[in-house]
Structure 1
Amino acid sequence: MKITSWGRLSHEQHQAIALTDHRTLSAQIQHNTPGISYGMGRSYGDVCLNPGGPLWQTRNMNRFISFDQHTGLLSCEAGVMLKEIQNCFVPRGWMLPVTPGTQLITVGGAIANDIHGKNHHVMGTFGEHLAGFTLERTDGTALDCSREQNADMFRATIGGLGLTGVISRVQLQLRRVNSPWLLTDTVPFSSLDDFFALADASETDWEHTVSWIDCLTGPQTRGIFLRANHASEQDIDALPYYLPDSNKVRRRPGINMPLTPPVSLVNRLSLRPFNATYYAMNAGKAGAGVAHYEKFFYPLDKIQNWNRMYGRRGFYQYQCVVPRATAQSVIADMLAVIAAAGEGSFLAVLKTFADRPAAGLLSFPMAGATLALDFPNKGAATERLFARLDAVVSQAGGRLYAAKDARMSASMFAAGYPALTQFSAFRDPGISSAMSRRLLGS
């Protein structure tokens, strides 16, 4: 069947093989190689694609195996969605410690890309909260991996792009929460100076921090800084008003992008008024507030198929991280390059990463600032823009996030991930993807 990823840049034939049970997948992957795991397909580029070859679909491996209500240790199959974990365990007082901007991804995908959230300075990446997992290799071996057992393979698999084997079962440590609500603070800002001052000042007292920026506003980059902490029961009781029922909030219907327009709805005509409207609406909400975790963490999940708005040619997400020492000037240079190209993004997210040891050999975060932007696919013009951005990021000693990538060069990947040579020793020879062939040659 024809299968694509979230960026919808290609729709190529794959041999789709549904993995249905962690106890039987070993035989399935041994006889159908070289393949790659595919969960929800929410990676933007080609990390989860294998055109013309086997695609091991893990979504049916979606069972909870066990849960310890006292410690918060969850055992589950790798095809479980993050949303299923949140729906089941938040009412019981437990939550994922790290979650990205969508909960519509699988646990296996979260490990393979070592996802991060808005609280990296407090909780790090997803891989830091793994107690262990079982890794099935295409030679028929099954490895139980943890920080104590097969520790090198454990670290290679976290952020390992699915190239070390197929994860079947996972032991994941959840964190306690007192409610599904967050105490929030919305702060408009009008320059990168303001953003970095807010980011630094917020790290001590706020767990979750992130900002939207208007990348069309030039040197005086305006934006909306959002920060939040988990609310305790006492916080909720002290509110001067009643909050709606959490289950009703969670079940409110979203909207759907019902079709793919022939051209991108994100263009020079739509960007400036959208960004101006978005800024004005959120600046008008400045100050303290309360938000359900789904609204704060996953605002786009309520818009089904929002990726269709970029048209039939699809879109790219460009996410980089650059070192903290030069981050402000580098981000300014990138925004200048985008402006000079006459381009822009209304999904422009800027946040900072803390200085923490990487959970995996190929984990993306490092101490610095990360900028993520979406661009409609305009062919050669988009490639020229990315080449200029690549030069700025590389010169700064930064790197791109493989989970979002569809076109970086092998040389840029190798320069940005110095542990790549060490990682290569742990690859499963029966696993290959469009990305691995593009970046690693096989």
Structure 2
Amino acid sequence: MSGWGRYPVAATDLVQPGSPDAVPAMVAGRTGAIARGNGRAYGDAAIGEETTVSLRGLDRMRAFDPATGWLTVEAGVTLAEIVEAFLPRGFFPAVVPGTQFVTVGGMIAADVHGKNHHRDGGFGDHVAALELLLPDGTRLACSREQNAELFHATIGGMGLTGYILAATIRMIPVETGWIRQRTLVAETVADTVRLLDAAQDATYSVAWIDGLARGAALGRSLVYLGEHATRAELGGAQVPTRFGPAAKAGPGVPFDLPALTLNRFSVAAFNEAYFRLGAAKAGSERLVGWRPYFFPLDGVADWNRIYGRNGFVQYQFVLPAARSADLLPDLLDRIARRGSASFLAVLKRLGRGGGLLSFPFEGHTLALDMKMEPGLLAFLADCDRLVAAAGGRLYLAKDARQTRATFEAGYPGLDRFRDIRRRYGLEGRLASRLSRRIGL
């Protein structure tokens, strides 16, 4: 089994309960176990050291209150299923990550963030309650008022506090499925940071960065600002499709592409064309469907095969706002000089953090994909040292290779999290390949 990045690959027993009531018996007596949703964590966070418990079968939607927007679903329900069911009813999840093919349990465990974190926080900030199964069979109702300590440890806790069986999450009312998008052009990384910082009032903001540009163009980007469009703002072409264009079966990647497909030259050509096309549309607002705005890669099935059979690593870190302008140019220059091919590198502004092990804090986060090849891990280890020295940290849901020292330097809530694990008797019972590697 592997994560979405297809690196690393590890052997594990797999159990697949079909309902919440079936989970206790299937996990009883097991050690080194971890829950798994739809397999979209990039590295080894959802691979059990001994046993992996797939909760995808927990797929019922239980209740919805349109007056408040609170939706109760089982942990295996995917974001795509929620949007499909509720967008035509005028509701959209309060926070969405970069793919809709993730489960509610996985989004809570990773405390995923979206393009609106600077304003609305992470997914965990919009969870009212959850049902948690401990390895000893105890089922607990957790919220900010009930079993609050365990609730906050579970948000961003990477499945290491128990099995999430169900949760109540916030949906927000929307009038359409269209986004009013405005594109801004940034010629340098300093301009990118400045534009993101100046867009704090925008509901959604994200920057696509050319990871191979160097010199005067280092860090050039396209900054996308977005707002949910109202019915009155739709043009004639959009009115018949009020909740966005109909889903179309996109192209897929039927086999692993040859290793040479992605290289400095092919990705540089793509980035040049993408930047020029985006820059030509800058200035005025345009309406964009929710799928391409929030989930640009979901339209390509099995896109992880583009990186070849050896897979790839997604490298995502966050830097304190005060250090971003100094360190981002250095890191981007290192990445560009190495020629690590990444056609989707994004920079976002983050707000305050959430759970004890939640990734975000006030600052800027850069995420980019790098093909697994000789020398990559040593290169990233050098980058880790710069990030850690600046007070930054790496995202556990994307991680496939950071060391224990890097992890411990970046997460100040770690001691409290470990204490909770000890007091509830979770050590040894719940363990992923990630947790063993980084000393959790």
Task: Report the TM-score when normalising by structure 2.
Answer: 0.95
User: In the alignment, which residue of structure 1 is the partner of 2:277?
Assistant: 281
1:50 matched residue in structure 2: 48
In structure 1, how many angstroms separate the alpha carbons of the residues matched to 2:236 and 2:256? 44
Contact 1:264 1:376 in 2 (8 A): no
Residue-by-residue CA offset, 1:303-346 (whole Å, 9 max, x unaligned): 00000010111000000000001201111010122133233422
- The residue aligned with 1:15 is 13
Matches within 5 A, 1:298-313: 298-313=295-310
Q: How does 1:210-221 map to 2 (within 5 A)?
A: 210-219=206-215, 220=217, 221=219
Q: Tell me the distance in 2 between the aligned counterparts of 1:392 and 1:10.
A: 24
Q: Deviations over 1:131-183 (max 9, x none)?
A: 10011011111111000000000000000010000000111121111111111
**What is the CA-CA distance between 1:217 and the residue it aligns to?**
1.6
Q: Helix, strand or coil for the counterpart of 1:426?
A: helix
Q: Which runs of 5+ in 2 are unaligned?
A: none
Gaps of 5+ in 1: none
What percent identity do the matched residue pairs reach?
40
For 1:83-94, list aligned pairs within 5 A.
Answer: 83-94=80-91
Query: Contact 1:156 / 1:361 at 8 angstroms: preserved in 2?
Result: yes
Deviation for aligned residue 1:246: 5.0
1:438 lines up with 2:432 in the alignment? no
Please, which of 253, 259, 269 is the counterpart of residue 255 of structure 2? Answer: 259
Give the alignment partner of residue 414 of structure 1, picking from 408, 411, 414: 408
Is residue 118 of structure 1 aligned with residue 115 of structure 2?
A: yes
- Kept in 1: contact 2:212–2:339 (CA 8 A): no
State the shift of 1:32 in Å.
Answer: 3.3
Q: Which sits farther off after the overlay, 171-180 or 369-378? A: 171-180
2:78 equivalent to 1:81: yes
Residues 176-218 of structure 1, C-alpha deviations (whole Å, 9 max, x = no match): 11111111101222112221221122212x1000011112222
1:400 aligns with 2:401: no
For residue 247 of structure 1, report the CA deviation from its aligned partner. Answer: 6.5
Matched, 1:25 2:13: no
Count of matched residue pairs? 432
CA contact (8 A) 1:81 1:107 kept: yes
**CA deviation digits over 1:227-285, x for unaligned, max 9?**
1001112222xx36544525672321211001012425221231211111111222222
Q: Partner of 1:389 in structure 2?
A: 383
CA contact (8 A) 1:260 1:308 kept: yes
In structure 2, C-alpha distance between the alignment counterparts of 1:167 and 1:67, rounded to whole Å: 19
Residues 1:13 and 1:193: Cα distance change in structure 2 (over 3 Å): closer
Return the match for 2:187 from 160, 181, 190: 190
Partners in 1 of 2:26 and 2:131 — Cα distance?
16
- State the distance in 1 between where 2:87 and 2:378 align: 45
| Aligned CA distance change for structure 1 residues 247 and 257 (closer, same or farther; 3 Å) | farther
Q: Distance in 2 between matches of 1:418 and 1:398?
A: 11
Structure 1 Cα separation of the partners of residues 251 and 341 of structure 2: 25
Q: Tell me, in whole angstroms, the C-alpha distance in 1 between the residues paired with 2:144 and 2:431.
A: 26
Partner of 1:65: 62
Give the whole-Å Cα distance in 2 for the aligned partners of 1:210 and 1:224.
8
> Counterpart in 2 of 1:335?
332
Matches within 5 A, 1:136-285: 136-204=133-201, 206-219=202-215, 220=217, 221-236=219-234, 239=235, 241-245=237-241, 249-263=245-259, 265-285=261-281
Q: Equivalent residue of 1:402, what SS?
A: coil
Contact 2:176–2:242 (CA<8 Å) still a contact in 1? no
Partner amino acid, structure 2, of 1:386 = L
- State the alpha-carbon separation in 2 of the partners of residues 128 and 181 from structure 1: 24
Question: 1:352 aligns to what SS in structure 2?
Answer: strand
Q: Tell me if structure 1 keeps the 8 A contact 2:8–2:400.
A: no
Output the CA distance in 2 between the equivalents of 1:368 and 1:7. Answer: 26
Q: Helix, strand or coil for the counterpart of 1:321? A: strand
Task: Give the structure 2 partner of residue 359 of structure 1.
Answer: 354
Assess, with a 3 A threshold, how the Cα gap between structure 1 residues 168 and 279 changes in structure 2: closer, same or farther: same
CA distance in 1, matches of 2:236, 2:84: 27
- What secondary structure, in the 3-state scheme, does the structure 2 residue paired with 1:67 have? strand
Aligned mates of 1:242, 1:82 — CA distance in 2:
24
Contact map agreement 1:264 1:312 (CA 8 A) in 2? no
| Alignment correspondent of 2:345 | 348
Shifted more, 12-21 versus 158-167: the winner is: 12-21
User: 1:4, 1:101 → 2: CA distance?
Assistant: 19
Cα distance in 1, alignment partners of residues 236 and 72 from structure 2: 40
Which letter maps to 2:28? Q
Letter in 2 for 1:274: F
Q: Distance in 1 between matches of 2:123 and 2:315?
A: 21
State the SS of the aligned residue for 1:316: strand
C-alpha separation in 2, matches of 1:193 and 1:263: 33
Rounded Cα–Cα distance in structure 1 between residues aligned with 2:249 and 2:341: 30
Q: Is the 8 A contact 1:188 1:225 kept in 2?
A: yes
Q: Secondary structure at the match of 1:299?
A: coil
**How far has the Cα of 1:363 moved from its partner?**
0.6
Q: CA deviation at 1:410?
A: 0.4
Q: Distance in 1 between matches of 2:247 and 2:296?
A: 14
| Preserved CA contact (<8 Å) 1:264 1:309 | no
Query: Which residue of 2 is the match for residue 315 of structure 1?
Result: 312
SS at match of 2:38: coil
SS in 1 for 2:208: strand
Q: 1:192 to 1:92 in 2, by over 3 A?
A: same
